[in-house]
Amino acid sequence: MGCSSCSTGKDGQPKGCKNNGTCGTDGCNKLTVFDWLSNMSLPNGERPFDFVEVRFKNSRKEFFQNTENLSLSIGDIVATQAQSGHDIGMVTLTGELVRVQMKRKKESFTVEDAPKVYRKASQKDIDIWQKCRDREEEIKKRAREIAIILKLQMKISDVEFQGDGSKATFYYTADERVDFRQLIKDMAKAFGIRIEMRQIGYRQEAQRLGGIGSCGRELCCSTWLTDFRSVSTSAARYQQLSLNPQKLAGQCGKLKCCLNYELDVYLDALKDFPSQDTKLFTDKGLAFCQKTDIFKEMLWFSYKEDPGNWHVLSKDQVNEILEKNKKKEKVASLEMYAMEIVVEEKVVFENVVGQDSLTRFDKPKGSVNRNKNKNRNRNRNKNKNKNRNKNQKNA
């Protein structure tokens, strides 16, 4: 993902807009939403929706009411209401799409308890905010050291400062419940700020931190995926994937969410497909299923006595044999139904646009040799004629 301000340097390396996660067009942020209503004007007499979506560090987004009727647009840095003090964030969405997002996330529209946007952030607010952001990595490292000294079975994955620098929220993951009362006391004494501990799951941790998946793209959970559905190993079995935990697990350590993307297609294809443990009874012997190809609708069978010799049958042929077996009828052999697989040769190069090869002007070797021989014969004939003329003159 990249905005229009991203560019490439002289040496071909990505130059970037140097905003470091505070992209003004919101094109490089996590879970960004494209405002496709930005160029459309409201009907006459219609007031714009007075709520805005504000993004804080990583993927944390909240909705605030614009009670002061400020002229806000995407990319503006604003000071928002917090439990104590104020927070600093960036506006990521305005207008009617905010109403849609609030309905989707089941947020209420009540004015009484809605948090408010105080003002546009001043340069002083932004400077304090940037100083706090610069301290986060150092404080996270120190907090991890304190947790190790206290022998707490937890992992502090992220630290987020409030915009005014009065409070820091520590996000952590743990398998069991952790008593971190002493940890909060030690960190408050060491850092001199109010501490809030918030436990998140492993998938939420990957969503906040982001990263690159094994497919080479950014993680789905940090770019567009918001609902985490349960993923089981049966999804891999239906898709005939090897149950290798290193390949099936994502960066969060759980099964990859993308295993569910094509699961419905496989389930529809498997409705009238013979099962993997299908047995066929023939006069030649009992046959077992060795391999299946769901989308080509082909199955490979082999006899019990000859497991190394596989026979290819179509789905309809297998269902036909199974119907006969249900009637206690045996087929003669699998060879009667076996299909011949035609292996197509891969075309390395094909002239699809009518262009000739680069050597079209080169003469073949045979024609070059012929021309050389012709020239030699001509030279010989000329020499012979010259010699005859000399002899005649001398005579």
Over the stretch 38-60, which tens digit does the pLDDT of each residue have? 778 878 778 888 899 999 988 88
User: If we measure between CA atoms, which residue out of 143, 150, 139 comes closest to residue 182?
Assistant: 150
Q: Is residue 189 situated within a structural domain?
A: yes
Q: Is residue 371 situated within a structural domain?
A: no
Question: Do 180 and 133 share a domain, yes or no?
Answer: yes
Whether residue 392 is predicted with pLDDT greater than 50 in this model: the reply is yes
Whether residue 367 is predicted with pLDDT greater than 60 in this model: the reply is no
Q: Is residue 283 situated within a structural domain?
A: yes
User: If we measure between CA atoms, which residue out of 79, 65, 105, 73 comes closest to residue 91?
Assistant: 73
| Confidence (pLDDT) at 21 | 46
| Confidence (pLDDT) at 185 | 92
* CA torsion, ordered 102, 41, 21, 258, to nearest 10 deg: 50
Q: Is residue 81 situated within a structural domain?
A: yes
Whether residue 35 is predicted with pLDDT greater than 90 in this model: the reply is no
Whether residue 5 is predicted with pLDDT greater than 60 in this model: the reply is no
Nearest-angstrom CA–CA distance, 281 and 287 = 6
Q: Is residue 343 situated within a structural domain?
A: no
Instruction: Look at 29-38, 154-163, 315-324 and tell me which has the smallest mean pLDDT.
Output: 29-38
Whether residue 166 is predicted with pLDDT greater than 70 in this model: the reply is yes
CATH of the domain at 183: 3.30.300.20
**Among residues of the chain, what percentage have pLDDT more than 90?**
32
Q: Is residue 177 situated within a structural domain?
A: yes
Q: Specify the higher pLDDT residue, 392 or 308.
A: 308
Question: Do 195 and 132 share a domain, yes or no?
Answer: yes
Q: Is residue 116 situated within a structural domain?
A: yes
| Confidence (pLDDT) at 22 | 45
Mean pLDDT score, 25-36:
67
Whether residue 107 is predicted with pLDDT greater than 70 in this model: the reply is yes
> What domain range includes position 188?
127-200
Question: Do 131 and 196 share a domain, yes or no?
Answer: yes
Encoding tokens for residue 194?
Answer: 């109010």
Nearest-angstrom CA–CA distance, 82 and 66 = 15
Question: Do 284 and 267 share a domain, yes or no?
Answer: no
pLDDT-based confidence at residue 157 (cuts at 50, 70, 90): very high
Average pLDDT, the chain: 82
Q: How many domains are contained in the chain?
A: 4
| Confidence (pLDDT) at 371 | 61
Rg of the chain over Cα atoms, rounded to whole angstroms, equals: 37
* pLDDT tens, position by position, 266-323: 998 888 888 888 888 888 889 998 888 888 888 899 888 888 888 888 888 888 899 9
Whether residue 208 is predicted with pLDDT greater than 70 in this model: the reply is yes
Q: Is residue 240 situated within a structural domain?
A: yes
* pLDDT tens, position by position, 54-94: 999 888 899 999 988 888 888 899 999 998 889 999 999 99
Overall pTM > 0.75: no
Mean pLDDT score, 108-135:
88
CA-to-CA separations, 289 to 296, 299, 315, 376, in angstroms, rounded: 16, 7, 12, 72
| Confidence (pLDDT) at 336 | 81
Question: Do 135 and 195 share a domain, yes or no?
Answer: yes
Question: Do 115 and 166 share a domain, yes or no?
Answer: no
Question: Do 243 and 196 share a domain, yes or no?
Answer: no
